[in-house]
Structure 1
């Protein structure tokens, strides 16, 4: 009952769209358990449980009687979704393809085609995704109608068919679910189609979309950043500054927007205004490329304002920051080569926090993770990191499975130690009971045959009661004791025979009543025998279950142990390869940063020397004037 309440609570709190949103009741707890794990991000556990449940469902003779039958459509789709989220694209595609090829309604087939197209698009196969979308025809479920259109537009853009994408996106401009996203993508598509004026209008519209959702805020900031950048390229500096000014100071695009806003003012010769966003940016985290560029841009602006002394000091500060950053990069590279980077990634205590990446970055003793947030901006690195973390999770699971198998073996040993001493005595008593039961069943069958024979061949003496039979035996004994020559004995003989006649008369006249009662008693006996057989069968099943609870498991457990250890060995090898790839990618990224900082250092040194020279000349000129 507690488990049921837990699943229902998770359904309401986590947005269980597959069952709760559809308005149906939970019928299959195992399907609910799979969804419970999925909504916690434990997709491996969700896939494992749902695979088992679907396998059992398809393996029974009458699946419509199984509780999963009420959710089978959601379950078939969900397993594909879970596999997709776990980046098992091939299996996810096959799962959805199976639904697509099945005997289903058009709406279900269209939903399957959409999901397959989404899988293919995420795999980077836009041509195949478009082929899947073209299989959609007729009725499209309203819940995915906008999703299908938006995906179609994305596929067209990926294929360079911008005019078709524009037509689809214009039809989605009133969609509430894609507010801002449609305008932004429409702007990009218009640029691709060679219509920059219309594109700028759409980006301006996307940059002013209303909403407080984090996704809407992010797309609004991105739209304004792209719009401002394009306006700067067209030398429309005032309009560019207005667009960049709409970007939030705390958003993911704020650093790039501040840098661009400063350059917009600088390009227009407004260096004093350019110092405002650049100064704000220069005080932020120096690992960001825009911040590093701002460290050079601020003294550059002071130099243009002929404040060469201030510029020289700021160039010196920039050189110091670049030097510190290069030292930190060197420490990070050295730490990564020592293997500490991979050790830090799999810290279990950090995974309890949703912001675990940021927590890693803040650890003072782990310089190798200082740039992890920036590294994750790379899609390839992010996917490689996810694969490594998944492998680590699988390694822990396979290691735990070995302990589980040991626990099963201990449990089986305890069962064997408990049942084996008891079973011999139980078996002896059971054999005695079985022989008695067989005898009684034979007697019952014999009585039943005799009663059925009496229906066609009446035998009155068969239905004489026990008391009557005793009476007849007593009368027969008394009759044997009489003396035939004694007149008194003759009188007693007549009385005995009269009593015998009464008994036989009763047996004849009550024959049908007694026969009916005998059959009623036989039916009552059958009920007792049925209960006895049920108890007998229950004992047999219990006896078999007792034996089966500890016999026949050794080979299976041994086979599972071998498979688990082989899987663990393969995972360890894959982790080493994936970890080496991560280290190489991280080192290459850090070395690229180092080279860029070295270039910045060279620029800063020349600018520093030039600023000192200009400052010295200016001081000389001022001294000459005095």
Structure 2
């Protein structure tokens, strides 16, 4: 399966380079004015920072395919086969761990550590977290110590959890004294301290530590736990394992105290009540032993393993106190109930039923992430199979295999999404080629070039007019100014004609004076407005030239795009087809592994249900044997005192 994960990394890394969602593309998305980026050069340092930022961002959001892709691009940019930064190498190890590639991640971790590399405290913290969950306790311990010693320092919010990881890693290696030393530096009332003490208690029990020290650690752990739901659950868990450990050491009085302190509202209550009864029975407190079993049967599901075991415990205890009639009635009820359960279990233990059971759970978790980013998978659906399989669901091996099945489902979903996007790319390639052919690029270019020449001639004509304008008398005059000047010119011939016709009574001097005055005012108005008009005209001309230059450049870019459009698509359809084939091959491989995983889980469930069937059958046989024994004892007690005298005459007749 790990080899398959390595193969799965290849397709997304290649595919990510064209991983734009093709269905979201439109003409507006690619209508980019190249002048907007004119003058911007390629800054290699800026590109490195961009790739580095993309690498860290994709890592933090859990997009691990993109994380490895950006890391590859980053390495290619700097021209190196090694990871640019030690912290990035540590994070790459964490990515491999997240994808289930523990062996590769371990190799990277060793390489970083042996090279004396340095990374931030947070990076080492995340690595320690994953190493601990993967079961590499020695590596997790070293990573946790590196996190505390790293610079930049660990974020304060992770301090207590990292201390828990360190204490628990040491405890898992059964170094109790050293774990106690680290534990003393933690905040007593923090929930992480409670978890650390719990793992330490387990280590002390495994090492057969001094009872006084174990009891002291247990009391300390219970006392400091926070008064909330999580704290109560951890408290019950500690009390349960402490009570079982005390039973094994024959410290029944202490075990009674631990079991009796467990609340009646947690998942640890049923086994605590069951063991509490057996512990009282071991002290010959028969009547007291029945009470926790009765509570267990009243509060919890009759299919719970602890409840089923208590079925036989109650009549057995009644038999020990010589309550024969009550014991017989209890055994009869147990026989009736176990007979129903055995029959029902036989019907449910079928491959088709188990497949539907797993299928419903898979459908409920199809939106959950996979790998390290998987937060929490939901419980299996409420059904009769789930009721019978309660013991199986508590086994870590089964839950791990169940999580692997979920991961395989998500991998196939990712492959299906990759195939869908590749199909969209294939479709859009066909559509773009058809659009390119239908738009008539060559004819359109010819039309645009003709319009370009017309606009260019117009611009040159405007430029010539501007040059000629400086040499005219009334330069930069407006249309209205020119009209008024023309009217003044038309007055001159009329005045001249009147002067020729002139009579002694006609005085033309006022007209001439008025004409001169109007001419002067008009010239003064024109010359006063000339500088501003000249500046506005030249400004508008420059803006026009700038816009036309942009249009000309866009035309050149369009010409280049049309020239490159055909060649730029060459090879891409083949790449898409190759990727589709690789994705299809990977999907077939994953489907095969997925089928094997389904078979494995089904076999595990069937084996558990078969074992449960055998156990229930054994319980049923014990109940029937007990009933037979009690009935036989009763008959012996009733008829044993009668003496049997053989009939001699009948015996002779028989002979």
- TM-score category by the smaller chain? 0.5 to 0.7
TM-score by length of 1: 0.68
**Tell me, what secondary structure is at the counterpart of 1:347?**
helix
- Residue by residue over 1:252-276, the C-alpha shift from the partner in whole angstroms, topping out at 9 and shown as x without a partner, is 1111111112123222333222222
**C-alpha separation between the residues in 1 aligned to 2:281 and 2:124?**
52
Among 146, 156, 163, the residue aligned to 2:177? 163
Residue pair 1:337, 1:583 contacting (<8 A) in 2 also? no
**C-alpha separation between the residues in 2 aligned to 1:619 and 1:111?**
80
TM-score by length of 2: 0.65
**Tell me, what secondary structure is at the counterpart of 1:361?**
coil
**C-alpha separation between the residues in 2 aligned to 1:374 and 1:238?**
28
Among 118, 123, 133, the residue aligned to 1:122? 133
Residue matched to 2:255: 240
Residue matched to 1:143: 157
- Residue by residue over 1:63-100, the C-alpha shift from the partner in whole angstroms, topping out at 9 and shown as x without a partner, is xxxxxxxxx99999888767655545467668988998
Residue pair 2:293, 2:314 contacting (<8 A) in 1 also? yes
**1:109 correspondence with 2:120:** yes
**Tell me, what secondary structure is at the counterpart of 1:287?**
coil
Residue pair 2:89, 2:112 contacting (<8 A) in 1 also? yes
**C-alpha separation between the residues in 2 aligned to 1:97 and 1:442?**
73
Instruction: Provide structure 1 residue ranges, at least 5 long, that are not aligned to the other structure.
Output: 1-27, 62-71, 452-460, 469-513, 622-626
Output the aligned Cα RMSD. Answer: 4.8
Structure 1 residue 213, shift from structure 2 partner = 4.0
Residue matched to 1:361: 382
How do residues 207-222 of structure 1 correspond to structure 2 at under 5 angstroms? 207-222=222-237
Residue pair 1:163, 1:189 contacting (<8 A) in 2 also? no
Residue pair 1:133, 1:152 contacting (<8 A) in 2 also? yes
**C-alpha separation between the residues in 2 aligned to 1:560 and 1:280?**
62
- Residue by residue over 1:302-345, the C-alpha shift from the partner in whole angstroms, topping out at 9 and shown as x without a partner, is 11222212212222222333333333333333235985455444
How many residue pairs were aligned? Answer: 515
Structure 1 residue 350, shift from structure 2 partner = 8.8
More deviation in 173-182 or 160-169? 173-182
**1:588 correspondence with 2:607:** yes
Among 617, 620, 640, the residue aligned to 1:601? 620
**1:258 correspondence with 2:235:** no
**C-alpha separation between the residues in 1 aligned to 2:565 and 2:90?**
37
Q: Which structure has the higher relative contact order (CA within 8 Å, separation 6+)?
A: 2
Instruction: Provide structure 2 residue ranges, at least 5 long, that are not aligned to the other structure.
Output: 1-52, 79-84, 369-374, 476-529, 641-655
Pick closer, same or farther for the CA change 1:171–1:355 going to 2, 3 Å: closer
**C-alpha separation between the residues in 1 aligned to 2:108 and 2:538?**
59
How do residues 453-492 of structure 1 correspond to structure 2 at under 5 angstroms? 464=471
Among 358, 367, 377, the residue aligned to 2:394? 377
Structure 1 residue 401, shift from structure 2 partner = 4.0
Pick closer, same or farther for the CA change 1:519–1:249 going to 2, 3 Å: closer
Pick closer, same or farther for the CA change 1:33–1:171 going to 2, 3 Å: closer
Structure 1 residue 299, shift from structure 2 partner = 0.6
**Tell me, what secondary structure is at the counterpart of 2:274?**
helix
**Tell me, what secondary structure is at the counterpart of 1:171?**
coil
**C-alpha separation between the residues in 2 aligned to 1:372 and 1:75?**
44
More deviation in 558-567 or 434-443? 434-443
**C-alpha separation between the residues in 2 aligned to 1:349 and 1:177?**
29
Residue matched to 1:511: none
**C-alpha separation between the residues in 2 aligned to 1:98 and 1:210?**
40
Residue pair 1:333, 1:587 contacting (<8 A) in 2 also? yes
Pick closer, same or farther for the CA change 1:254–1:555 going to 2, 3 Å: same
- Residue by residue over 1:480-528, the C-alpha shift from the partner in whole angstroms, topping out at 9 and shown as x without a partner, is xxxxxxxxxxxxxxxxxxxxxxxxxxxxxxxxxx9xx999988875554
**C-alpha separation between the residues in 2 aligned to 1:408 and 1:219?**
53
Residue matched to 2:242: 227
**C-alpha separation between the residues in 1 aligned to 2:637 and 2:187?**
59
Pick closer, same or farther for the CA change 1:149–1:60 going to 2, 3 Å: same
Residue matched to 1:432: 450
**1:185 correspondence with 2:199:** yes
**Tell me, what secondary structure is at the counterpart of 1:346?**
helix
Structure 1 residue 205, shift from structure 2 partner = 3.1
Pick closer, same or farther for the CA change 1:235–1:324 going to 2, 3 Å: same
